Structure 1
Amino acid sequence: MGTDHFVRITRLRALIDHENTGAGERATAQRMLDRILRKSPGHNGSPASSDRVYGAKHDRPGRHASTASIVESVRDDIAFARNFAVVGGPGELTVHSPLAAAPAELTVAVSTPFADQIVVTIDGIPPAWGWESDEFDRTAATADLRRLADELAEIIDSYNHDGADVGPRFFRTIRAQETTLIR
């Protein structure tokens, strides 16, 4: 990729990330950037031979976005997933979302205690819905709570990258009250 592409990508990202860019102009710049990146080898401007893996929403908050701005995007995605319901007609497939199906009293908090870590904490979990005891009286997460944690991890991972030549953009932890479910 030549320097012309690099300059265009840099300028488009700056325009998209600038606070005074209008919604219409931002959307147009995003479409132009998406088009350039689709045509670029390896997408996201990385060489085609790279072993990097990018999440589906990696570029949405901006290439050099802080973890705090990624957290805001994750919060928006979680709020949307909690309220989104697909109502199918007779004979149509329905989409199951553990976030949408979770009990209403359940809360999900997203924080960034360190610059390279995102922590999601699930609180207000009804005991019968989220926890079960085994024959030795040990408490473990139910399948519903594990599915919820998996969906939250998937949302967060969509903003991350990883690879042989670069480490992850950030690390994530999913907790249910005081128990770490996913690291």
Structure 2
Amino acid sequence: MGTDNFARISRLRALIDHANTGAGERATAQRMLDRLLRKTGAANTSRAADRVYGERHHRPGRHATTAAIVESVREDISFARTFAPGAPGEVIVHSPLAAAPAELTVAVSTPFADQIVVTIDDIPPQWGWESDEFDRVVATRDLRALADELAEIIDAYNHYGPDVGPRFFRTIRAQQTTLIR
């Protein structure tokens, strides 16, 4: 592949990935890139094959803002909190979000363009906190399971790979304590 084609491919990829590119212009640039990659035989050498995409990465869209992803995460959390078990005799899937106390609140925010922070508040002390052997207050197994489930929900919208960093970073907090970074 010549230097001229490399420059064209780089420019097209930059245009496609730019946040201010319109939908029509992005689609045109994508078609041009696909034709160029087929013509040069570079279609099979894409570095994107090593990328790992979360199962819901496509839902808000490839070029969605972090705010749009936060809205999708909020919807998923709301749905998981109202999850109703099946009919008698059906297998019940355990969800820490659905099993969490009703007074517990979960807030999702994006303080920076590339960070999503989930804060769990109003945690009943007997449910969320316990003392360890050194008399330190630590999160209970239930609270840690809740934090793990929240991290899974957020990670479903992320991507990462050897040639690209994550789409965003996430932090799970329980009141003032960071549980997952």
TM-score range, shorter chain: 0.7 to 0.9
Question: Could you tell me which residue of structure 1 aligns to residue 92 of structure 2?
Answer: 94
Alignment RMSD, CA only? Answer: 2.2
Question: Could you tell me which residue of structure 1 aligns to residue 58 of structure 2?
Answer: 59
Larger radius of gyration: 2
SS in structure 2 opposite 1:129? helix
Q: CA deviation at 1:88?
A: 3.4
Percentage of matched positions with identical amino acids = 77
Question: Could you tell me which residue of structure 2 aligns to residue 71 of structure 1?
Answer: 70
* Length, aligned pairs only: 143
SS in structure 2 opposite 1:181? strand
- 1:172/1:88 Cα in 2 relative to 1: closer, same or farther (>3 Å)? same
- 1:102/1:66 Cα in 2 relative to 1: closer, same or farther (>3 Å)? same
Moved over 6 A (4+): none
Question: Could you tell me which residue of structure 2 aligns to residue 145 of structure 1?
Answer: 143
Question: Could you tell me which residue of structure 2 aligns to residue 176 of structure 1?
Answer: 174
SS in structure 2 opposite 1:50? helix
SS in structure 1 opposite 2:172? strand
Question: Could you tell me which residue of structure 2 aligns to residue 85 of structure 1?
Answer: 84
SS in structure 2 opposite 1:60? coil
Q: Calculate the TM-score normalised by the size of structure 2.
A: 0.74
Q: CA deviation at 1:119?
A: 0.1
Give the whole-Å Cα distance in 2 for the aligned partners of 1:96 and 1:48.
Answer: 38
Unaligned runs of 5+ in 2: 1-15, 17-21, 25-44
1:3-59 residue CA offsets vs partner (Å, 9 max, x unmatched):
xxxxxxx8xx949xxxxxxxxxxxxxxxxxxxxxxxxxxxxxx94872100000101
Q: Decide which structure has greater helix share.
A: 2
- 1:172/1:49 Cα in 2 relative to 1: closer, same or farther (>3 Å)? closer
SS in structure 2 opposite 1:140? strand
SS in structure 2 opposite 1:87? coil
Q: Which amino acid aligns with 2:74?
A: R
Give the whole-Å Cα distance in 1 for the aligned partners of 2:125 and 2:161.
Answer: 39
Q: Which amino acid aligns with 1:72?
A: E
Q: CA deviation at 1:175?
A: 0.2
Q: Calculate the TM-score normalised by the size of structure 1.
A: 0.73
